[in-house]
Structure 1
Amino acid sequence: MAEELIVSGWMDYAPDDRDTVLSALVELGRRTREEEPGCLDYAMTADPDDERRIRVFEHWTSRQALDEHFATPHIKDFRTVVAGLARVGVSLTAHTVAASHPMR
């Protein structure tokens, strides 16, 4: 059985570019969740305390599902939209899920 993966972290864009990136991420997230059965969750959100930062949370059924995500047409579309924008920092980490349980 494949191990689930969580991708978390942040991406920083120039303040004037962040809203454009977020708009593109809304479409990317919608298509990812709808079209990719290996995606369990996909959320990119504006950090309320930093005008540059976008928080990243992704949950995948496997490393293979994540790898396949990078070859989709909607990733290509997203990369085209943000190609000229200024990403000024990034910190993303993939975590292999050992176990999960509901929180009470």
Structure 2
Amino acid sequence: MAEEIIVAGWMDYEAGDRDRVLGHLVVLGDRTREEEPGCLDYAMTADPGSEQRIRVYERWASRQALDEHFATPHIKEFRAAVAGITRVGVCLEAHTVASSRPMR
């Protein structure tokens, strides 16, 4: 089994733009989960403590699955949809998971 990849962090947009971006991210997330078998989880959510921040959590079956994600038509459509919106801050990191265990 390949090592899983977790992408986590945040993106900031102007307060008035965050919800527009989130609307496009809902469409992107739905298509990503439906059309990409290497996507194990994909969630972009509004940070309740900030009018600018979107929290990012993605879980991928492999590095290859994540790399292939960036070449999909729905990523290109998302990028075109948000092309006029300026991201004012970002902190995203990709983590390679060596092992996992269930929590109870």
Does TM-score exceed 0.5, indicating one fold? Answer: yes
Q: TM-score, normalised by structure 1?
A: 0.98
Aligned residues: 104
Kindly report the root-mean-square deviation, in angstroms, between the aligned alpha carbons of the 2 structures: 0.5
Partner residue of 1:16? 16
Counterpart residue identity of residue 67, structure 1: D
Unaligned runs of 5+ in 2: none
| Superposed counterparts of 1:1-104, under 5 Å | 1-104=1-104
Unaligned runs of 5+ in 1: none
Q: What is the CA deviation profile of residues 17-75 of structure 1, one whole-angstrom value per residue up to 9, with x for unaligned ones?
A: 10110000000000000000000000000000000000000000000000000000000
Identity score, percent? 76
Q: TM-score, normalised by structure 2?
A: 0.98
**After TM superposition, which residue ranges in structure 1, 4 or more long, deviate above 6 angstroms?**
none
